[in-house]
Amino acid sequence: MVSADERRFEVLRAIVADYVSNHEPVASKAIVERHNLGVSSATVRNDMASLEEDGYITQPHTSAGRIPTDKGYRLFVDRLHEVKPLSGAERRAIGKFLDGAIDLDDVLRRSVRLLAQLTRQVAVVQYPTLTRSTVKHIELVLITPARMMLVMITDTGRVDQRMVDLGDVCTEEALSRLRTMINSGLSGRRLVDAAASVAELVEQAPADLRDTAIRVGSVLVESLVEHPEERLVLGGTANLTRNVADFPGSLRTVLEALEEQVVILRLLAGARDAGTVTVHIGGENEAEEMRSTSVVSIGYGGGSELLGGMGVVGPTRMDYPGTIAAVRAVANYVGEILTAR
């Protein structure tokens, strides 16, 4: 026999499902007709009264049905024993779409576009964090005898290109020696460690390469100490305009907040472990202007190694099971792609 608490939760689950689907307050009669709970309309009304008294649902106006509160959504999410799985076709489509990416920027752009389409919310992806990236290769290419291009490639697929004015003529032979010296000293090292080693490499450079090494080293350090984790890719903002009524304050306030990079970084701050989904609902969001939204975020990477965070932002009236499944699936693919590069 189902306990009273379990029955009340089933009533809450029904209210969440119907309200997310129809965006209309849910009445007891509708619950009895649409959901096979095996109890009378009077019992459902009593359960709804208890749920309202405990703060899980509320009545938006007199004579209306009930809608979930932030507290109600939280209980619903916390008791999601099963996340609605993506279909085999959806998973194959995700894999095919992301596998076609040509570099890191393309992977992240595709990921954002895909997440926005799957969830019909705003999607955001954080660039791989600097502290966990390592130098894969550094290429030096002469553009003119006195000017070269420095290309740094990391293990996560990041490609950084910078021009270096040499101040004097450099031969291909000298460039080859310098390239070998730099890669021998920096390849395979984390960017933060590599940055600290550049000065030492310059000091060890042969006298005939010293001036060139100094100029290349100063530009190389700029690449190594940048903070790509503060770079974000955002997509699907227009999805929020489909249901302006979901934002009782002002949708404009939410849109303006999404333009602030620091706000989005704080939204992803909960993504501390690769593969672990975090859900912040309404008032749980630190930024006041985001308290009419819910944020579903996750860390991506390989195994226990966290490279960055990604997630979606939408109204609290969200398909949480479907959104969690989509965010998790895309994060898994992105992690596999980047760690395999």
User: What is the pLDDT, as a whole number, of residue 341?
Assistant: 57
pLDDT at 14 (0 to 100)? 93
Distance of CA 114 to CAs 86, 128, 335, Å?
A: 14, 18, 15
Range(s) within the chain of domains with CATH label 3.30.450.40:
88-127+231-340
pLDDT value at position 187? 92
| Residue range 109-118, pLDDT digits in tens | 999 999 999 9
Burial class, 168, CB count within 10 angstroms (exposed 0-12 / middle 13-18 / buried 19+) = exposed
Closest CA to 83 of 320, 332, 337, 331: 320
CATH 1.10.10.10 residue ranges of the chain are 4-78
Query: What residues of the chain score a pLDDT lower than 50?
Result: none
Instruction: Let me know: does 139 contact 179? Beta carbons within 8 Å.
Output: yes
The CATH number given to 4-78 is 1.10.10.10
* Dihedral, CA of residue 286, residue 289, residue 291 and residue 292, to nearest 10: -160
Q: What is the pTM of this model?
A: 0.76
Q: How many beta carbons lie within 10 A of that of residue 9, not counting itself?
A: 18
Secondary structure (DSSP) of 47-84: HHHHHHHTTSEE-SSTT--BEE-HHHHHHHHHT--S--
Q: For helices 4-22 and 70-78, what crossing angle results, to 10°?
A: 110
- Residue 67: predicted pLDDT: 94
pLDDT at 147: 92
* 96: enclosing H helix or E strand: helix 88-99
The domain defined by 131-228 folds into Enolase-like; domain 1 (3.30.390)
For the segment(s) 88-127+231-340, the CATH number from 3.40.30.10, 3.40.50.450, 3.20.20.70, 3.30.450.40 is 3.30.450.40
Could you tell me which residues are beta bridge partners of residue 162? 150
CATH 3.30.390.60 domain extents, the chain: 131-228
What are 206-256's pLDDT values in tens digits? Answer: 989 889 999 998 888 887 775 555 578 899 999 998 888 888 777 888 888
